[in-house]
């Protein structure tokens, strides 16, 4: 992901998910940004996934896309790489109410007990 403008990429990801959540059919809808973020999960490229999260979370998103973002990239990062990122996630959640709110849409998934307890401890609301 070093070769992309993360701000524009995040805009594309949000737009593509917005189109998908509004449509009964996904055939023919653009999905390149969605696919690239999914590939980061599959490849274990947690540093790039974290950079994407940092670029995307401050942006305006429809509520339905916020749900996808919380239960997708954020949850996946914590489920697979939580011990490496929980300090950063907690720090960001404490200083930024918008990020904290997104943690309300994160479920346990495959998080360790420690990571999950820390997510529960830092977030203010559960959706």
Give pLDDT tens digits for 82-127. Answer: 999 999 999 999 999 999 999 999 999 999 999 999 999 999 999 9
Note whether 37 and 73 are within 8 A (CB): yes
* pLDDT tops 80 at residue 61: yes
Task: Collect all residues with Cβ–Cβ distance below 8 Å to 116 and sequence separation of at least 6.
Answer: 82, 108
pTM (two decimals):
0.93
CA distance 101 to 92: 11
Give pLDDT tens digits for 5-45. Answer: 999 999 999 999 999 998 888 888 889 999 999 988 767 88
Token digits of residue 91: 């720090």
- Over residues 54-74, the mean pLDDT reads 98
CA distance 91 to 100: 10
* pLDDT tops 60 at residue 58: yes
3-class DSSP state of 87: helix
């Amino acid at each position: 992901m070093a070769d992309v403008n993360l701000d524009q990429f995040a805009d594309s990801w949000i737009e593509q998910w917005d189109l998908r959540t509004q449509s009964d059919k996904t055939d023919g809808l653009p999905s390149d940004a969605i696919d690239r973020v999914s590939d980061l999960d599959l490849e274990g490229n947690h540093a790039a996934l974290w950079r994407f999260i940092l670029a995307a979370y401050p942006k305006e998103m429809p509520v339905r896309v916020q749900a996808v973002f919380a239960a997708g990239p954020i949850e996946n990062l914590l489920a697979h790489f939580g011990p490496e990122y929980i300090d950063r996630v907690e720090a960001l959640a404490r200083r930024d109410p918008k990020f904290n709110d997104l943690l309300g849409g994160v479920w346990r998934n495959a998080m360790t007990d420690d990571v999950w307890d820390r997510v529960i401890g830092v977030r203010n609301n559960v959706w």
